[in-house]
Structure 1
Amino acid sequence: MSEIHKAEPFEAALQFIHTSFPNCDGALLAGSVVRGEATETSDLDIVVFDQTVKSSYRESLIDFGWNIEVFVHNLISYKEFFINDCVRARPSLPRMVSEGVVLKDFERMESIKQEAKALLDKGPAEWTHEMIKIKRYFITDALDDFVGCTNRAEEIFIANTLAELVSEFVLRTNRKWIGTSKWLVRSLKLYDETFADHFIDVFDTFYKTGDKSKIINLVDKILQAHGGRLFSGFSLGK
């Protein structure tokens, strides 16, 4: 497709549905362009509902000057994705559907959006005491490695592991949704913006200066509310 013209996001999405899914039952435009967070590299996230599709699929393509990610579901298959996303606590599809702007409507579109919103509002399932113990152990293991490590290259990647483990721990013990990559930061900010800023600062300080103390203090403070570091007496599968 020629790059001389890049249509406005909503118009491009409408044209895409008209040409590629003219007989679909409904469609939504979601993602950063809907949230007002689009950058030069943002794509169009489009969710399509088509009762003639046998199984869900995802496809990436370029059209109307845009990179387009299209997520195609029939009127039953999306429910399985809703459930799976909630089980893993990363509500990708429910979030897209809930925030999405309708491109093509049918009588069930509003009810599907409400279904997605209800799942988001409910939050993920509460972690069991046993799960919290398991996560405490693995955070303790990574933290001990971090404290004792004297190899700068290894320290960087241990810090990355700690950031993922600890952010997940904080969010899940507070029954909040988690995320990866940019959604890790966004999930923390949705939970508590002040805490998120502090979390980012302690890791940023380490990456810039090599000072581990802020990360160690933060992790210990978070673990302390759940019994502190855990090593002695822990068992799994015994």
Structure 2
Amino acid sequence: MSFRRVAAVIFDMDGLLFDTERLYSDAMMMAVTEMGASLSPAAIHRTIGLPAADCTAIWAEHLPPGFDVGAFWSASSANFKTLAETQLTLKAGAIELLDLLANLNLPCAIATSSGRATVDHHLTKAGIAERFGVIVAYGDYAQGKPHPAPYAAAARRLDVDPARCLALEDSYNGVRSAAAAGMITIMAPDLLEATQEMHELAVQVVRDLHDVCALLEGRGRENGSFQAF
């Protein structure tokens, strides 16, 4: 697959651009413990990449009958905000990749399940808000990931054919969304290891965003763990 096809790059946010999935997991564990219940890591991992409304249905399956899921979500959100104030960090290679894309004159967008206020907070705190000309957040599409709507909306706003968009994702639901939208999809796993399905949907599974830089520059790691597409 030739790099010449790529006319824009669309980033997921949580777990791909920012190291936030661990913070969300910690925030939920804190909240559920404070409320006298428990959630397994596997249950939390099922929600990765999903919008809040879909997460609520999953939590209800794993929490005791009558458990106040709304209060749990509010407590989790408050815990996350507290953690993010001191622990919000970009993923390895994020700045290097954004610099490379700027040098290549490739427009960048974000397609995320997070709300716009959260996106604006994170981008501003990291000093990279100006790097993204298009932001598609929760509420900007009718159906969330794994439906293709978030990525399709980003492509429309960029005015770029989805087939010429490179989508960068860390989650199963995100990869499914981007691939269903017809995009060139790369997975950089975070909390979830790549499955056979992910290898089939993505053109590459890489270790981090440094590897994405290497791919776009037409080179690979010295150990030959992947080939440039």
TM-score range, shorter chain: under 0.3
Q: Calculate the TM-score normalised by the size of structure 1.
A: 0.26
User: Which of the pair has more CA radius of gyration?
Assistant: 1
Q: Which has the higher helix share?
A: 1
Q: Tell me: higher relative CO, structure 1 or 2? Use CA pairs within 8 A at least 6 residues apart.
A: 2
